[in-house]
Amino acid sequence: MPTTPTAAEALRYADRMLSEVTAALLYRDQLRYRAGCEQVYGSTLDSQAVDAAVSRALEQAVQHAWDRNWRPIELDHTLGRFAARVKAPKAAAVWMARLLADVLAARTQAHDPATVDERWAAELAALDATVWWTADTEHLARFGERHGLDRLKVLGGAFELMRWLYQELPPLEPAGHAPGSPIPPRRNASGSTNSADQRMLDRIRALLAKAESTGFPEEAEAFTAKAQQLMARHSIDHALVDAAAGASDGPANRRIVIANPYEGPKAMLLQVVADANRCRALNFKDLGLSTIVGFEPDLDAVELLYTSLLVQAVHAMTAANPRADRYGRNDVRSFRQAFLSAYAARIGERLTEVRAEVDAELSGGTDLVPVLAARNEAVDTAFEELFPHRVSRTARVVNAAGWASGRAAADRAELAVRPRLPEPGLR
């Protein structure tokens, strides 16, 4: 007469079933994968043991993605794109994203908190990813209760999430630090502290927030220009003192999510901001991600300025009202595509002018030119080593009205400080 397995035995048997599912996914054996899933669905083992095994297998799938250099915010973004591509129902896409967030939080918690850096923690916070349950054995059951899903639906979602994590995600280049190993120290040859850098970034954020919120274009000009000037000066300060000390961390890289719609022009905006701040950018259109390469202070500047300019560009774009074409057709999409492309092109010109003005102002009596040339060469070398086989693409603009309107909006936001405006009070 068969005996009921003990709790420990049930957990071992359940883990074996999930190991079979994982192996099938790694070997891309779809028949074996489906058979493994069916075995789990029909298992007579205690449901809590099975759920615990599924939760652990999900965490290992997320770890697999992390080992291939995927970050939390990128996984969430790419899952949304995948759901749209396969035309998943909106409700299903929402709860699958929440399941992913739960697993991201659980896997992070499995690592020493000392190995989780600020950027990683910030990404989890942005996704509202927290461990709100108390044990692996209860997570999936409570998740189903939260979202009104029966157990088979939750298990099916878990298996599809595992399949996506193992089979749909290509490896990426390293970008930042993932949990599990000590956070590498950031060498600062300039001698300034991280808190000093943070105070500078806080000043820049405050200026850009003012630029985004004001209803007066002249004020936005002044705030944005002041922010770019601070960024350029901060970058040069680091460059000069690093050169004098003969030490530097060297170029690093960072990835930025490029969200729908109008991904092409948004990626173009990021590229011109990167170029104006001594960085290089490459867009991965199929993933909706862009990688920027540069020295850390410049990467910080690019990320802050891009985010702010994107907000300003979208505000200007939505305020512009395209006319119907001569056939009476609504051409909003083509207008906005052209608007953002023109805006990006013109903003790139203006940012480069501001940087050149700062370079000229600070170059007197210093060895600034060879120092900056050396840093530019280091960035170019790092970029070429990271992406030796990249392919360039060009975009075609089909809406002349949108292009003209976008360029005019960028001109209105041209980055030149107006002397008649008061200082923002952020010295």
Question: What pLDDT, in 10s, does the model give residues 166-189?
Answer: 999 999 999 989 999 888 776 554
Are residue 30 and residue 123 in the same domain, yes or no?
yes
* Buried-state track 332-371, b at ≥16 Cβ within 10 A, e below 16: eebbbbbbbbbbbbbbbebbebbbebbeeeeeeeeebeeb
Q: Bigger pLDDT: 34 or 249?
A: 34
Number of continuous H segments (helices) and E segments (strands) in the chain: 15, 3
Distance CA 275, CA 126 (A): 28
Give me the pLDDT at residue 121, please: 96
Q: Read off the pLDDT of residues 344-354 as tens digits, 9 standing for 90 and up.
A: 888 888 888 88
Please compute the mean of the pLDDT values over residues 359-369 and round it to a whole number.
Answer: 78
Domain-located, residue 266: yes
Does residue 422 surpass a pLDDT of 50? no
Are residue 274 and residue 132 in the same domain, yes or no?
no
Please name which of 226, 236, 233, 237 lies closest in space to residue 204, comparing C-alpha atoms: 226
Are residue 220 and residue 152 in the same domain, yes or no?
no
The answer to whether residues 104 and 124 touch, using CB atoms and an 8 Å cutoff, is yes
Domain-located, residue 188: no
- Residue 409 is which amino acid? A
Please compute the mean of the pLDDT values over residues 331-348 and round it to a whole number.
Answer: 85
Q: Bigger pLDDT: 161 or 185?
A: 161
Domain-located, residue 65: yes
Domain-located, residue 34: yes
Are residue 249 and residue 125 in the same domain, yes or no?
no
Domain-located, residue 174: no
Are residue 204 and residue 163 in the same domain, yes or no?
no
Task: Identify the domain containing residue 108 by its residue range.
Answer: 7-167
Distance CA 387, CA 399 (A): 33
Q: Read off the pLDDT of residues 393-421 as tens digits, 9 standing for 90 and up.
A: 544 444 444 444 555 555 555 343 333 33
Are residue 238 and residue 159 in the same domain, yes or no?
no
Domain-located, residue 176: no
Q: Bigger pLDDT: 411 or 333?
A: 333
Strand partners, 294: 252
Are residue 116 and residue 214 in the same domain, yes or no?
no
Please name which of 263, 399, 385, 265 lies closest in space to residue 323, comparing C-alpha atoms: 399
Are residue 163 and residue 213 in the same domain, yes or no?
no
Out of 150, 167, 184, pick the residue that ends a domain. 167
The two tokens of residue 354 are 């501001």
Q: What average pLDDT does the chain have?
A: 85
Are residue 255 and residue 400 in the same domain, yes or no?
yes
Are residue 136 and residue 263 in the same domain, yes or no?
no
Are residue 93 and residue 161 in the same domain, yes or no?
yes
Give me the pLDDT at residue 382, please: 95
Distance CA 222, CA 210 (A): 10
Domain-located, residue 141: yes
Q: Read off the pLDDT of residues 74-133 as tens digits, 9 standing for 90 and up.
A: 999 999 999 999 999 999 999 999 999 999 999 999 999 999 999 999 999 999 999 999
Domain-located, residue 102: yes
Does residue 425 surpass a pLDDT of 60? no
Structural domain count of the chain: 2
Give me the pLDDT at residue 424, please: 35
Are residue 132 and residue 254 in the same domain, yes or no?
no
Q: What percentage of the chain has pLDDT greater than the value 90?
A: 56
Strand partners, 256: 290
